[in-house]
A and B are shown apart, each in its own frame.
Chain A
């Protein structure tokens, strides 16, 4: 601008040359674009809904559902509302996810450790397991387990019976259901007292070890308390529990607890698939702990078991937990494949049947996505908290 910058005041910078002002301009532009896009979508949607005479709002949640659901963890029948179908579906999603997570963790842990085994065959077998199940689409695995397993089970009239009280057939696994009688509250109360006692015991034992260095057999005393107290209460209250045995009535078994094959197939497929990932996570977690740590522990005279428990695993956990959490999250999201085999999860019941009944796609898909989003945001919030807690404090 000027020939000699020394004797003149610098020309005022053009405002788009100023990074800060330009930054604001860009942001204003982005904001406008996003708001504009949303307004555009919103406007179109309203217009389209009105034009097509699709009702809007959440009033439908109060309406009677009028259809049956295969598995309900809470009281439900046709006369309940669509809002109730949402709860039923959500609980079913949580149930299959929880079962899947437990099995996947155990299986993944075993296979991850097997992968590191010194035994060549075991390690290779674990490797083959991982490579096979990780590289086949989950949906395919779910369909396979369900439609390949069903024909192998017997018809209800030829059920496999165990001890005359547990039955297995194509319709599910029938177990005796506990029926609580009056006085069972005492057992629950005793259990609560035991849990409280155990927590107090842990604190006390830790403090004593910090103060005096003496250890206390916490594990065995806790176990004794957790089992013993409720048992004692159970005996004293006069065993207030009876069993409801399943029995063949008409076409099917009635009574007791039914574990439906859809639940088993879905949980199993989810667990087998996710376990392959967890095994890899466990392996890399354990391998991430430097060998020097093991050697140092041995040099201090710790036994291999103690080394694993006190030195390796706590450090490996730092690597394992965040990845593990995200696998749990994936498993929960993947449980949405349930409609493929008719397991009544949130997507099948709410985003399926309820959507078909009401036609209110926007609200229902919105709620469904919101649920998954809430679950995953909650878990990632927990993960961030955990990461901060266990992060290495480096100097």
Chain B
């Protein structure tokens, strides 16, 4: 200001000045984002204080003062976190009570799963359609054969020994794979012109979406055996899976319905005009577009399901959380609940955060392609 008043320039002769130092570079960024007003500055200090309050003790406890090596609780004497506990039990957290000589089978399935996932999720790898077919039909069979055993010279491992992260992943993956076709049928049913089909679909979807998963699990563990003819019975894990599938299908149906509704009416009319039958119209024209659009929604549903699988601990299956809880009861390792829970939280967090980021990325990619 002062400068302006002292010096006069003819129009057009004004020199190009650098912007003031306080509005560019680190200083400028700090000023714009952290200290733009007294209120903002106060907030900044508040934020820094919160970080100081939470992060410093946490780092100190979880890393700096933590014990990592050793093989008994005597090794944990520093007052920090005792990760020895997690390290010793790590295999059990991952594989459950699975016989250790057969771990390679789970590892193989895990490798296969990563490969399939990469096939499905990395945009650059071609033949996605075959990937979907493989994931939906072949992968589950291969997994069941490998982990369950009993054929091809593999020893049988009963489902009560499945557990840990393996079981969590099996529950979530099987839940989504089995629920997917049912969910699509329900979504189509809900959009159908036929009143009875529509009514049943709506009733089914609203019923399952209206009740908590835990009651569904109770139902599958206590009531399902009553529904079946005498003498027919399912494995406990299978019963839980049936419950999860029925429940999850309703959520997938709603996601898919969103996709169906987003397809412009013109597409339906064009398919009709070509004389395509209902299934051809849906299978060749509508669903491929709709399903592509709802990938983020499906990933989010999967994310929720993945977190919800922890509920099986209430019906006595040993998923990751349940097996950690069981390990916390070991008299040799009492008093390390926080470490156990933090470990579980970290594992779940990595999976869920990864999935939500992936879903966001897909959403952005589809965003440019589809909306005009």
Residues of A within 8 A of B (CB): 23, 26-27, 30-31, 34, 41, 44-45, 47-49, 51, 117-122, 125, 131-132, 134-140, 143-144, 147-148, 333-334, 336-337, 339-340, 347, 351, 355, 361-362, 365, 368-369, 372-373, 375-377, 380
Asked if residues A27 and B195 are in contact (CB atoms below 8 Å), the reply is yes
- Residue of A47, A119, A132, A333 near B47 (CB, 8 A) is A119
B34 within 8 A of A: yes
Beta-carbon contacts under 8 Å, B184-229 to A: 193-197, 200, 206-207, 209-212, 214-215, 218-219, 222-223, 225-229
Contact among A119, A134, A147, A337 for B214, CB-based, below 8 A: A337
- Pick the contact of B222 from A27, A30, A361, A380 — CB < 8 Å? A361
Type the 1/0 row for B48-64, where 1 means its CB is closer than 8 Å to any CB of A.
10110000000000000
- Most chain A CB within a 10 A radius of its CB, from B193, B195, B219: B219
Since A48-B230, A368-B215 are in contact, a sample of 15 more A-B pairs with Cβ atoms closer than 8 Å, ordered by chain A residue number, is A49-B226, A119-B34, A119-B43, A122-B47, A131-B356, A136-B348, A137-B307, A137-B348, A143-B325, A144-B338, A147-B337, A333-B212, A339-B314, A372-B211, A373-B210
Mostly, the B contact residues are: helix
Which 3 pairs of residues, A with B, have the shortest CB-CB distance? Answer: A135-B352, A121-B47, A120-B33
Report the nearest A residue to B335, measured CB to CB.
A151
- How many A-B pairs have beta carbons closer than 8 Å: the answer is 148
For B210, give its contact among A30, A337, A376 (CB under 8 Å): A376
Q: How far is the CA of A36 from the CA of B110 in the complex (A)?
A: 41
What bracket does the count of chain B residues touching chain A fall in?
A: 35 or more
Are B209 and A376 in contact, CB atoms less than 8 angstroms apart?
A: yes
Which B residue sits closest to A43, measured CB to CB? B229
Is A140's CB under 8 angstroms from B344's CB? yes
Residue of A nearest to B308 (CB): A137
Across-interface contacts of A135 in B (CB, < 8 A): 303, 307, 348-349, 352-353, 356
Interface contact A139-B321, CB-CB below 8 Å: yes
Select A27's contact among B197, B227, B228, beta carbons within 8 Å. Answer: B197
Name the B residues within 8 Å of A138 (CB-CB). 307
Question: Considering only CB atoms, which chain B residue lies closest to A49 in the complex?
Answer: B226
Partner of B310, one of A23, A34, A139, A372: A139
B23 CB, min distance to chain A CBs, angstroms: 15
B interface residues (Cβ-Cβ under 8 A, vs A):
33-34, 36, 40, 43-44, 46-48, 50-51, 193-197, 200, 206-207, 209-212, 214-215, 218-219, 222-223, 225-230, 303, 307-308, 310-311, 313-314, 321, 325, 337-338, 341, 344-345, 348-349, 352-353, 356
Alpha-carbon distance A87/B34, docked complex (angstroms)? 52
**A380 to B202 CA separation, bound complex (whole angstroms):** 13
> Chain B residues near A47 (CB, 8 Å)?
229-230
What would 6 A/B residue contacts be, using CB atoms closer than 8 Å? A48-B226, A120-B34, A121-B34, A125-B51, A351-B215, A373-B211
In the complex, A156 Cα to B228 Cα: how many Å? 51
A30 to B194, CA, bound (A): 11
The one of B212, B214, B348, B356 in contact with A140, judged by C-beta atoms closer than 8 angstroms, is B348
Pairwise interchain contact B209-A336, C-beta atoms closer than 8 A = no
Given contacts A118-B36, A132-B349, A144-B345, contact A377 B210 (CB under 8 A): yes
Asked if B210 and A140 make an inter-chain contact with CB atoms under 8 angstroms apart, the answer reads no
Distance in angstroms between the alpha carbons of A125 and B51 in the assembled complex:
8
Q: In the complex the two chains form, is A362's CB within 8 Å of B230's CB?
A: no
Please state if B226 and A23 are interface contacts (CB–CB under 8 Å): no
Q: Specify which chain A residues have a CB less than 8 angstroms from the CB of B48 in the assembled complex.
A: 121
Contact B197 A26 (CB under 8 A): yes
B283 to chain A, nearest CB (A): 17
Report the nearest B residue to A368, measured CB to CB: B215
Chain A neighbourhood of B311, CB < 8 A: 139, 337
> Are B40 and A26 in contact, with the CB atoms below 8 A?
no
Docked pose: A334 CA to B212 CA in angstroms: 7
> Closest CB-CB distance, B207 to chain A, in whole Å?
7
Q: How far is the CA of A56 from the CA of B48 in the complex (A)?
A: 62
Residue among B210, B229, B310, B352 with the highest chain A CB neighbour number at 10 A? B210
**Which residues from chain B contact A139 at a C-beta distance below 8 Å?**
310-311, 313, 321
Q: Is the CB of B33 within 8 A of A118?
A: yes
Contacts of A339 in B (CB 8 A): 214, 314
Q: With a CB–CB cut-off of 8 A, which chain A residues contact B303?
A: 135
- In the docked arrangement, what's the CA distance between A49 and B223, Å? 11
B44 touches A148 (CB 8 A): no
With both chains docked as a complex, state the minimum distance between the C-beta of B42 and any C-beta of chain A, in angstroms: 10
When C-beta atoms are compared, the residue in chain B nearest to A369 turns out to be B211
User: Given A147-B337, A347-B215, do A140 and B345 touch, yes or no (CB 8 Å)?
Assistant: yes
Contact of A361 among B47, B207, B223 (CB under 8 A): B223
Q: How far is the CB of A159 from chain B (nearest CB, A)?
A: 24
> Which of the listed residues B46, B222, B348, B356 has the most CB atoms from chain A within 10 Å of its own CB?
B222
Flag if B33 contacts A119 (CB, 8 Å).
yes
Which one of B40, B50, B196, B345 contacts A136 once the chains associate, using CB atoms below 8 Å? B345
| A334 CB contacts on chain B under 8 angstroms | 212
List B contacts of A368 (CB < 8 A): 215
Q: Known contacts A27-B195, A30-B196; is A140 also within 8 Å of B226 by CB?
A: no
B349 touching A136, Cβ below 8 Å? yes
How far is it, in angstroms, between the C-alpha of A51 and the C-alpha of B310 when the chains are bound? Answer: 34
Nearest CB on A from B216, distance (A): 8
Q: List chain B residues, Cβ under 8 A from A355.
A: 222
By the criterion CB–CB under 8 Å, are B194 and A148 in contact?
A: no
Given A135-B353, A347-B214, A351-B215, the answer on whether A31 and B196 have CB atoms closer than 8 Å is yes
B308 and A23 contact, CB distance less than 8 A: no
Interface centre among A34, A45, A120, A334 (most CB of B within 10 A): A120
Would A125 and B47 count as touching, CB distance under 8 A? yes
Determine the distance from Cα of A148 to Cα of B341 in the docked complex, in whole angstroms. Answer: 10
Which residues on A sit within 8 Å (CB–CB) of B308? Answer: 137
Q: Give the docked Cα–Cα distance between A51 and B349 (Å).
A: 47
A373: chain B residues at CB < 8 Å are 206-207, 210-211
A148 touches B215 (CB 8 A): no
Residues of A within 8 A of B223 (CB): 361-362, 365
Quick one: closest A residue to B36, CB to CB? A118
Q: Are B200 and A30 interface neighbours, CB within 8 A?
A: yes
Chain A residues closer than 8 Å to B44, beta-carbon distance: 119, 121-122
Q: Is the CB of A140 within 8 A of B229?
A: no
Given contacts A44-B226, A135-B352, A140-B345, contact A148 B337 (CB under 8 A): yes
Chain B residue nearest in CB terms to A132: B349
Chain A residues near B344 (CB-CB < 8 A): 140
A41 to B193, alpha carbons, bound, how many Å? 28
* B195–A122 CB distance below 8 A: no
How many angstroms from the CA of A375 to the CA of B209 in the assembled complex?
12
Contact assessment for A23 and B36 in the assembled complex, using a CB-CB cutoff below 8 Å: no
Which of B33, B200, B226 has the most CB atoms of chain A within a 10 A radius of its CB?
B226
